[in-house]
């Protein structure tokens, strides 16, 4: 495209085409153009206006209602150079802003306000007019009524002067901070005043442990607390009715009208009775002493399980129904019954009993049987107990040993040969054989004639019980 100077030299001086004036647009009541749109439109560079022409051509006829505003763009004289930057320098956001203006309705103007047209240069970008939409929007500009005298420039004063800039952002931020600070100070002062006016008086809790309930209530009656009492047992304050502790604790602050608890004593704590059976007498007394209980001793008794000197049983004096695990107060007396050990056994009579029978009886009594060497007996039959030690009826401890001897039966001996012997020789041989000399018949100076047992003659080689009495005959 030729430059502006070359175009002026080659083309003839044609009169500038007249810009048709648009009829005043009717604006619906209350419709106002957004402020941002005016600022964006005002920022679009405008071409330098040409000197006023000598004669203004007649306005073009009004467009039909449905006709696009873009069809009424004025022709731009070729003498105006491009007023917009190149496509590479133009921000892309401008396209969106300019395009958004096409959708906005034209501003309303009073009926007596004239509408003038301003020539807008077309900006070309590769054969496309990027300012066509902007020119259509700027084609109509309403101005305030101004007398149109000769030489007036009112058509070019359509843009109102910019308002002076407002306060800087830093100043506005500082003012907001100052206002917020002042509000906080005022609110804090109001809160402090309200607290001082509405606060409840507080008092320190005194130390009341160990005093009576009446004394404690009297000490805090001026504090206007809600005094309440609780009861529990305590060894520290064993006297019933004395203060054990308070809640809150001494030294704490408590507001008037708040609950104040007095924990009062019901007496000493209960002691749990221990299990004492089988414990030694000394150990049982130590346990009772720790529990602040009194121990006493009853008569000792025999017991098959508890060793001598240990506790067989115990009772609470005055309340024999209590058992281990029950509670009693300190000072309660506990009577202990100690063991004498197992009861002594009376030895039974085991004579004439077999070994099996004797062993059974001794086992039932907790006694043991020991067998000594067997003996002949002319009275007790063989394999029966001949004698025992200790004797029958004697008392022995459990586990004692009883020694017995079993009979081997009668002791038979052979009658010796006495023929031809004198008196002395015959008597000596008879006694050595286990017999006893009986009566002597005849003369002791003679020789052995015969022997008789119970009047019956005895021959050599016969057997009789040892110790049998034998009568001798000498002639």
Residue 139: band (very low, low, confident or very high) from pLDDT cuts 50, 70, 90: very low
Q: Per-residue pLDDT for 92 more than 80?
A: no
Domain membership of residue 376 (yes or no) is: yes
* Pair (108, 85) in one structural domain: yes
| Separation between Cα atoms, residue 90 and residue 100, nearest integer Å | 17
- pTM greater than 0.85: no
- For residue 80, the number of C-alpha atoms closer than 13 Å in the C-beta half-sphere is 18
DSSP 8-state symbol, 291: T
3-state secondary structure (DSSP) of residue 39? helix
Q: Are 140 and 117 in contact (CB under 8 A)?
A: yes
Residue 297, CA distances (Å) to 179, 300, 307, 337 in order: 92, 8, 16, 6
Residue at 272 is within a domain: no
410 or 38, which is more confident: 410
- Tell me: do 23 and 142 sit in the same domain: yes
Whether residues 1 and 140 fall in one domain: yes
8 and 139 fall within a common domain: yes
Q: In this predicted structure, what is the pLDDT of residue 116? A: 43
Residue 351 lies in a domain: yes
Report residue 212 as tokens. Answer: 């009576």
pLDDT for res 200: 75
**pLDDT of residue 277 exceeding 90:** yes
Inter-CA distances, 337 with 312, 325, 358, Å: 6, 19, 35
Do 96 and 185 reside in the same domain of the chain?
A: no
Domain around 366: 345-409
Q: What is the pLDDT of residues 394-444, one digit of tens each?
A: 999 999 999 999 999 998 999 999 998 999 999 999 999 999 999 998 888
Per-residue pLDDT tens digits for 293-336: 999 999 999 999 999 999 999 999 999 999 999 999 999 999 99
Of 409, 433, 462, which one is at a domain's C-terminal end?
Answer: 409
SS3 402: strand
pLDDT of amino acid 155: 45
Residue 125 has pLDDT above 80, yes or no: no
Contact 312, 301 (CB under 8 A): yes
Determine the average pLDDT of the residues in 50-65: 42
Q: Are residues 19 and 115 in the same domain?
A: yes
Question: Domain for residue 80, yes or no?
Answer: yes
Claim to verify: residue 377 and residue 353 sit in the same structural domain: yes
Asked if residue 417 and residue 373 are part of one domain, the reply reads no
Going by C-alpha positions, the residue among 101, 109, 131, 103 that lies closest to residue 119 is: 131
Distance CA 51, CA 54 (A): 9
Would you place residue 160 in the very low, low, confident or very high pLDDT band (cuts 50, 70, 90)?
A: very low
CATH number of domain containing 293: 3.30.10
Does 140 lie in the same domain as 38?
Answer: yes
Q: Is the pLDDT of residue 177 over 70?
A: yes
Q: Which of 101, 113, 108, 92 is nearest to 39 (CA)?
A: 101
140 and 3 both lie in a single domain: yes
181 domain residue, yes or no: yes
Tell whether 217 and 187 lie within a shared domain: no
Domain boundary among 409, 440, 461: 409
Whether 74 has a pLDDT exceeding 70, the answer reads: no
Q: Is the peptide bond before 280 cis (omega within 30 degrees of 0)?
A: no
CATH number assigned to the domain comprising residue 224: 3.30.10.20
Taking the C-alpha atoms of residue 388 and residue 349, their distance in angstroms, rounded to an integer, is: 8
Within a domain: 194: yes
| Cα-based distances in Å from 392 to 75, 77, 100, 304, 402 | 161, 164, 139, 23, 10
Strand, helix or coil for residue 356 = helix
Name the domain boundary from 393, 409, 425: 409
> Per the domain annotation, does 39 fall within a domain?
yes
pLDDT of 136 reads 41
Q: Please count the structural domains in the chain.
A: 6
| Domain co-membership, 320 together with 364 | no
């Amino acid at each position: 495209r030729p430059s502006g100077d070359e175009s002026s030299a080659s083309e003839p001086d044609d009169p500038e085409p007249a810009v048709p004036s648009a009829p005043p647009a009717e604006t619906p009541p209350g419709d106002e153009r957004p402020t941002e749109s005016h600022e964006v439109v005002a920022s679009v560079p405008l071409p330098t206006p040409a000197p006023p022409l000598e004669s203004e051509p007649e306005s073009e006829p009004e467009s039909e209602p449905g006709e696009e505003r873009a069809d009424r763009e004025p022709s731009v004289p070729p003498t105006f150079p491009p007023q917009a930057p190149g496509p590479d320098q133009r921000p892309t956001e401008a396209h969106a802003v300019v395009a958004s203006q096409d959708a906005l309705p034209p501003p309303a103007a009073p009926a007596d306000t004239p509408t003038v047209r301003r020539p807008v240069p077309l900006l070309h970008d590769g054969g496309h007019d990027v300012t066509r939409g902007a020119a259509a929007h700027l084609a109509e500009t309403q101005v305030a009524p101004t007398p149109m005298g000769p030489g007036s420039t009112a058509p070019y004063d359509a843009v109102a002067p910019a308002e002076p800039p407002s306060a800087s952002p830093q100043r506005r931020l500082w003012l907001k901070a100052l206002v917020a600070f002042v509000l906080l100070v005022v609110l804090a002062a109001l809160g402090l005043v309200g607290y001082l006016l509405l606060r409840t008086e507080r008092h320190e809790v005194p130390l009341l442990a160990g005093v009576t309930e009446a004394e404690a209530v009297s000490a805090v009656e001026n504090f206007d607390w809600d005094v309440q009492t609780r009861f529990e047992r305590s060894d520290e304050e064993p006297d019933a009715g004395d203060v054990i502790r308070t809640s809150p604790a001494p030294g704490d602050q408590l507001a008037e009208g708040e609950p104040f608890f007095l924990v009062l004593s019901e007496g000493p704590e209960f002691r749990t009775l221990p299990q004492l059976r089988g414990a030694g007498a000394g150990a049982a007394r130590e346990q009772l002493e720790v529990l602040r209980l009194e121990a006493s001793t009853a008569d000792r008794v025999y017991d098959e399980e508890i060793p001598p000197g240990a506790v067989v049983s115990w009772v609470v004096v005055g309340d024999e129904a209590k058992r281990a695990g029950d509670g009693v107060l300190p000072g309660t007396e506990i009577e202990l019954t100690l063991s004498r050990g197992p009861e002594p056994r009376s030895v039974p009579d085991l004579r004439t009993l077999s070994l099996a029978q004797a062993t059974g009886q001794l086992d039932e009594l907790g006694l043991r049987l020991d067998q000594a060497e067997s003996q002949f007996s002319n009275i007790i039959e063989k394999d029966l107990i001949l004698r025992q030690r200790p004797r029958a009826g004697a008392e022995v401890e459990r586990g004692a040993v009883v020694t017995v001897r079993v009979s081997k039966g009668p002791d038979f001996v052979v009658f010796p040969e006495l023929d031809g012997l004198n008196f002395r020789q015959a008597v000596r041989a008879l006694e050595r054989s286990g017999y006893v000399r009986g009566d002597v018949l005849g003369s002791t100076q003679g020789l052995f004639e015969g022997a008789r047992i119970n009047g019956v003659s005895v021959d050599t080689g016969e057997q009789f019980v040892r110790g049998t009495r034998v009568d001798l005959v000498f002639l």
